[in-house]
A and B are shown apart, each in its own frame.
Chain A
Amino acid sequence: MVSLKVNGTTHSVDVDDDTPLLWAIRDNIGLTGTKFGCGVAQCGACTVYVDGQPVRSCVTPVSAVGDSEITTIEAITGKEAEAVQAAWTARDVPQCGYCQSGQVMSAVALLKENKKPTDRDIDLAMNGNLCRCATYVRIRAAIHDAARALEI
């Protein structure tokens, strides 16, 4: 059994130590907002926070997490998350939506660290999050929108 603190609740999950955190989150704990995309840290769909920092949960074994606080898309809070959610809605960013929880996790993480990101900052932060619908232009615009909203 492995103990995992996810979104403020401690869960005991019956998995091997080398099980990807993503599998425990989705299959054992039942939080399916975090998506499986590639399994090799190339697409970003599985992004969660470990102690507030974005991490690809598909390449993170549960044994590496320890007592860290895991936050998934279901539980992100704060002004950056609210600004990103509002900007995403206003711009109608998602198309199929599959990658978007990962996109949002990275966008919020960026805005927490960088209040006024340039196009370059956004590209560097977001290029690990692939979107097969190619919503990149709207994603970048929405991040700029969210940054402006946070200035007010």
Chain B
Amino acid sequence: MRSGLLLSAAAGFGLCLAGSALTLAQAPPTAASLRPVESFGTIANQRDRSVALFAEMGKVIQHPRCMNCHPATERPRQTDARRLHQPLVVRGKDGHGAPAMACTTCHGKQNYDPARIPGDGHWALAPASMAWEGKSLAQICEQLKDQNRNGSRDLAGLVKHVTTDTLVLWGWKPGAGREPAPGTPEQFGALMQAWADTGAACPAS
């Protein structure tokens, strides 16, 4: 009995350590702006330029506005501090939550600032195949290009997704109390187009 308790305590402590390591590894970036595409013109090597463009895109991809709903588990996170979503909600069968606790139970078609509830026409979690949480930018890059995991999108489809999908664009208009994703959607779209045009190279690690 006593050893069982000790084991539980040890397991709990281990979980705590793992939890804090996770938090440290995923501290949100604080960039507020994006470098313009033209500023990458000084990088002569095309592959290096492509990698640099993706690293700049990473400021958006790894921002809480994007990462919170690309979780590694079935539960999203929320706020700039990326805490677990309260109340407990899960991805569910189609990314829109569990029966009687669909995203639309609380999230409307638009932000509702009086109650600090964000909204969009298709509020949802990214599919599990698009989980970014805990991954390096290199891993996310490969995942983003993998049509088996990215919703069968080619590079043009990816650019279209990030420049026209209302839920992606919400990241720059997140409502009161939430930091917008860095830069503008136009800048991000231009970076991604330039990355695609330069061979869509991924960082080595």
Contacts and interface: CB of A to CB of B under 8 A. Distances in A.
From DSSP, what is the main secondary structure of chain B's interface residues?
loop
Interface stretch (B97-105, B143-151, B164-172, B184-192): B97-105
Contacts of A42: 86-87
A18 B88 contact: no
Contacts of B86: 42
Interface string A96-118: 00000000001101100110010
A20 B113 CA distance: 11
Given A40-B115, A56-B105, A60-B108, A128 B87 contact: yes
A69 B75 CA distance: 30
Interface residues of A, number: 29
A47 B105 CA distance: 8
Interface residues of B, number: 21
Contacts of A41: 105-106, 115, 117
Contacts of B117: 40-41, 59
A40 B104 CA distance: 14
B100 A20 contact: no
Given A55-B105, A61-B108, A127-B88, A39 B115 contact: yes
A-B pairs with lowest CB-CB distance, top 4: A125-B100, A113-B99, A124-B98, A110-B100
Interface of B: 86-90, 98-102, 104-106, 108-110, 112, 114-117
Interface of A: 18, 20, 39-42, 47, 53-56, 58-61, 64, 106-107, 109-110, 113-114, 117, 121, 124-128
